[in-house]
Amino acid sequence: MSYIDATTYNNASYAATTESASSELGQADFLTLLLAQMQNQDPLNPVEDAEMIAELAQFSSLEELQTMNESMTSAISALSMLTVNSAVSYIGKEIVAAGYSISKSDSGCTDVYLTPASDCESIKAHIYNEDGDVVATVDLGSAEGGEETTFTWNGLKTNGSKAANGTYTVGFEAYDADGESVYVASEVSGTVTGISSSNGTTVLELGDGRTVELMYVSKIVGSSGSSDSGSGSSDSEDSETLQ
């Protein structure tokens, strides 16, 4: 066990406090210093009017910047709280958002909706575990550019064994007829069960443990109970696309 010498700690605390206090120059301090400068200036070499005006202008600018910074901080805080409050309406609803994260459970794996930027001669989906290791690679064949395709991993590793339940990441490798790489955008879905905020970013917590930043949500499908494919009702009727 290590110990901190009390004298060393007190000296360090005093130095830190002194440095913090001395780094802040208020309006009264500035005027005091300016008055002292005028009283003690060299009569043979007085401060020029232009120099004094420049100092006053500099202080005024600093004051304005400080006030602006405080106002911006307050505005950002208020906006963040407003965003969190509005995001509460997402709880209990299924959303679609840009992302590559999927969940595997005993009931299966979540869907991934992929859209290649242009025609692809071949697309492969690589499944990564939380350690970043590839556990499976699936050949998806060809695809037309701009056309959305749904991919659902069967939960099997490359060697045919079942992968453990948990969160995985899907990465797509696509090439056109000339062998050039093609970008593939992907979206995932899930049911929102909670809301959190971190560093001004609103995060939606999904029922399977995944998280999605609110800014990446593109569609609200509806309540979790409306996604039963055997009910005879289409999810698209209850869906809301976000701009």
Q: Is a pLDDT exceeding 50 seen at residue 156?
A: yes
Among the residue ranges 17-26, 39-48, 102-111, 144-153, the one predicted with the least confidence is 17-26
User: pLDDT confidence of 187, banded at 50, 70, 90?
Assistant: very high
Q: What is the pLDDT of residue 87?
A: 78
Indicate yes or no: pTM above 0.85.
Answer: no
Of 15-24, 114-123, 154-163, 200-209, which range is least confident? 15-24
> In Å, what is the CA distance from 61 to each residue of 22, 30, 35, 40?
20, 13, 19, 26
State how far the Cα of 151 lies from the Cα of 114, in Å rounded to an integer: 7
CA nearest neighbour of 190 among 168, 214, 212, 206: 206
Residues 209, 193: Cα–Cα separation, whole Å: 9
Mean pLDDT of the chain: 77
**Band (146; pLDDT cuts 50, 70, 90):** very high
Residue 31 in tokens: 């005027």
pLDDT tens digits along 46-88: 555 556 556 666 666 666 666 667 656 655 555 555 556 677 8
Cβ contact 103:164 at 8 Å: no
Task: Give the lowest-confidence range in 6-15, 41-50, 168-177.
Answer: 6-15
232: pLDDT confidence band, cut at 50, 70 and 90?
very low
Q: Is the pLDDT of residue 35 over 50?
A: yes
In this prediction, residue 201 has a pLDDT band, given cuts at 50, 70 and 90, of confident
Average pLDDT on 163-169 reads: 97
- Structure tokens, 90: 């997402």
- Asked if residue 157 has pLDDT above 90, the reply is yes
One-character DSSP codes across the chain: -----HHHHHHHHHHHHHHHHHT---HHHHHHHHHHHHHTS-TTSPPPHHHHHHHHHHHHHHHHHHHHHHHHHHHHHHHHHHHHHHHGGGTTEEEEEE--EEEEETTEE--EEEEESS-EEEEEEEEE-TTS-EEEEEEEEEE-TT--EEE---SB-TTSPBPPSEEEEEEEEEE-TTS-B--EEEEEEEEEEEEEEETTEEEEEETTS-EEEGGGEEEEEEEGGG--TTSS--GGGT-EE--
Q: pLDDT digits over 92-121, tens only?
A: 999 999 999 999 999 999 999 999 999 999
Provide, rounded to the nearest whole percent, the portion of the chain with pLDDT above 70.
Answer: 56
The residue that leads in pLDDT, 127 or 90, is: 127
Show the tokens assigned to 39.
Answer: 């009283």
Write down the residue that tokens 């911006």 correspond to: 72
For each of the domains in the chain, give its residue range(s) and CATH number, in order of start.
26-39+47-89 (no CATH), 91-241 (2.60.40.4070)
pLDDT at 128: 98
- Over range 123-131, report the average pLDDT: 97
